[in-house]
Copies of this chain bind each other. A is one copy, B any other.
């Protein structure tokens, strides 16, 4: 029986990606060698890496725009540190939309002055700060495009003369935005890019000329770009599977088509939340995430009843983050409309009880 997996990440991937990844573990490209045992310097793997990087640039519309894509390790958490290590000289501006922004701020403070130029902490991060005026000159402005825990998402980005850097871990490749507004953006793979274990970084090459520090090799964007993600042995399986997933996005009409489907799924649940007398949304309507739909029961005493309905219908992974509670339905690119319909059906059944 198929499970409907609303996990926040690692999360659902397209069925064909999972099947092809499984096959490659046994035999890659009919070579009679497992993907796991080929050299990362082999032609087969170099071509995988090249394709993954090219697809990342192509899908974000950055071809011929002076950007480079690299696949690293360490997740967004290592990027919190690398961004500051590479680019923080005097002071940087951070927009605080909750947990992930706060972690990025914490690491950056080890390397220079950090100014919180906007924050939604006053309302437990249930909205996105708007009309942010950035007057000072900062080494860079950092923001988190989508907050998986609270279920908020930037739908417009602030204008700034400083470099703009973003953590896009949970919504990269999910919607059409002007990616060229950003000088650097990164994403832990385990939502819309691929399985856990690799991190995509896309960086405008001109930004690198601003680096004048002595940076340890593994933390240096320059080193990784010069070595084309092969400074040391890359995480072969996660990158291969990310490449398959990016191929899947392209085959399915690219980001525009993916966005249309994501909107359809999100609207279906948000409409149900708004019309169902048993639920209430967590986030201000304008700032709702199309990736992570957070909601609460009006009567939290009824949790066991709703949970049982979900369980009976094979709906899994919808508990809210431990720091927020309630429910969270993560509906990343690979989540099918059919699964969302099953969840909405559970909500309807619950209301009718």
Contact = CB atoms under 8 A, between A and B. Distances in A.
Contacts of A33: 3, 5, 316
B233 A9 contact: yes
Given A188-B233, A233-B9, A74 B77 contact: no
A34 interface: yes
A280 to B, nearest CB: 25
Interface in A33-67: 33-34, 36-40
A291 to B, nearest CB: 15
B39 A317 contact: yes
A236 B107 contact: no
B10 A236 contact: yes
Nearest to A238: B197
Nearest to A108: B216
Given A2-B32, A22-B22, A241-B36, A196 B231 contact: no
A11 interface: yes
Given A77-B218, A81-B218, A238 B241 contact: no
**Which of A9, A76, A107, A216 neighbours the largest number of chain B CB atoms within 10 Å of its CB?**
A216
Interface residues of A, number: 61
A199 B23 CA distance: 25
A124 B127 CA distance: 62
Interface in A1-37: 1-3, 5, 7-13, 18-19, 21-23, 25-26, 31-34, 36-37
Interface in A51-102: 73-78, 80-81
Given A25-B25, A39-B317, A237 B77 contact: no
B9 A34 contact: no
A78 B218 contact: yes
A38 to B, nearest CB: 6
**Which of A21, A23, A214 neighbours the largest number of chain B CB atoms within 10 Å of its CB?**
A21
A219 interface: yes
**Which of A3, A12, A26, A39 neighbours the largest number of chain B CB atoms within 10 Å of its CB?**
A39
A11 B236 CA distance: 12
A110 interface: yes
A217 interface: yes
Contact of A10 (B31, B39, B75, B231): B39
Nearest to A79: B218
A103 B78 CA distance: 21
A231 B26 contact: no
Contacts of A197: 73, 197-198, 234-238
B238 A237 contact: yes
Contacts of A192: none
A254 interface: no
B21 A3 contact: no
A231 B40 contact: no
7 contacts: A9-B39, A21-B36, A22-B26, A106-B217, A110-B216, A188-B232, A196-B235
